[in-house]
Amino acid sequence: MKKVYILATGGTISAAGCEGKTTGYHDGKFELKDLLARVKGAEKLAKLEGEQVLNISSDDITWGDWLSLAGKIEKLSLRSDMDGFVVTHGTNTLEETAYFLNLVLKTEKPVVLTGSMRPATANSADGPQNLYEAIALAASEEAKGKGVLAAFSDLILSADRIQKVDCFRNFCDDCRDVRHDFLRNREKRFYGFGGIVYL
């Protein structure tokens, strides 16, 4: 079984607010162990290790945080038992962090960012499914050598094209060739790369 390392940085995926509501929440209220407890079946996808590297709103991320995150991933990627990485992140700057990591990381191992548009306490929380898909993608052979990716709302997005276009809707990119659909039959197609990831 593959091993995936999760680096949690905070954001809406770790936020809490009024039970059931999607607004009026505070980032960084849940830690990685709490997030993983909400993801059913994650232990069947990969062996998991991880750490809480930050617990902030992504608006507050700094150059120093980026450099530290990249350094951790680069160092961990040298471990022969480590197969892929997931970074949980707030969506306000997820695209910037993904782009930065794509520029500086040298590893061929999958690095996948994910987050959520709704807090963990919302009835319609999207974080657990996004995290599940990110773990599955990071554990896949087909994601190797594809650069930094994002798994979000049944999509695989390339770090150099992803953009947040609306505060209440999901991510998109500007080119169909670099958007890769998570199909409902559990088959993951990389349209621009010629591979399929089976979950």
pLDDT in tens, the chain (199 residues): 999 999 999 999 999 887 776 778 888 889 999 999 999 999 999 999 999 999 999 999 999 999 999 999 999 999 999 999 999 999 999 999 999 999 999 999 999 999 999 998 888 899 999 999 999 999 999 899 999 999 988 888 889 888 776 665 555 454 443 444 453 445 555 655 444 444 3
Per-residue pLDDT, 21: 66
| Per-residue pLDDT at 187 | 57
| pLDDT of the residue at 179 | 42
Active site residue 121: no
Cβ atoms of residues 84 and 112 within 8 Å: yes
pLDDT of residue 191: 55
The pLDDT value given to residue 18: 78
Per the residue annotation, which of 12, 88, 93, 114 is the catalytic one? 12
Q: What pLDDT does 171 receive?
A: 55
Q: Please report the pLDDT score of residue 170 as a whole number.
A: 55
- Write down the pLDDT at residue 175: 46
pLDDT of 197 reads 44
The predicted pLDDT at position 136 comes to 95
The pLDDT of residue 112 is: 98
pTM of the model: 0.86
CA neighbor of 148 nearest in space, from 82, 198, 74? 74
User: In terms of CATH architecture, what is 3-198?
Assistant: 3-Layer(aba) Sandwich (3.40)
